[in-house]
Copies of this chain bind each other. A is one copy, B any other.
């Protein structure tokens, strides 16, 4: 599991009084930094690999300014060229949102999908969702 702690910003609230819904995709992407580093270790954007294909985001509870949030990311599926992540957002230990994000490993220079290397797979496997279920923390 990849874990990231973020402090909500005033600019991320909206006039309804909570964190605006469009901020959650920003936070989930921010929490993928260790995965981006795995695919593009030198952070050279001309060699960037991860291209997002689909997200499914469920809003469970309102998120508030004033208390840190924690984002937890698991690897749900590793395909030949694709990666599926399962992500949760907690505030005060309460689940506030769940997200899945599907990426493809894309070579921008050649404009085609590439197989995810065995080296990266090995690292990603340490974060498999199965791990989560075994630990009995699955929330549904």
Contact = CB atoms under 8 A, between A and B. Distances in A.
Contacts of A109: none
Given A22-B25, A26-B11, A16 B48 contact: yes
This chain's copy number in the assembly: 4
Interface string A37-78: 100000101001001111111110000111000000000000
A17 interface: yes
Interface residues of A, number: 37
A26 B45 CA distance: 23
Q: Report whether over half of chain A's contact residues are helix, strand or loop; otherwise say mixed.
A: mixed
A10 B45 CA distance: 10
A90 interface: no
Contacts of A22: 11, 22, 25-26, 29
Contacts of A20: 10-11, 13
A36 interface: yes
Interface in A1-45: 7, 9-11, 13-18, 20-23, 25-26, 29-30, 33, 36-37, 43, 45
A33 B108 CA distance: 27
Interface of A: 7, 9-11, 13-18, 20-23, 25-26, 29-30, 33, 36-37, 43, 45, 48, 51-59, 64-66, 108
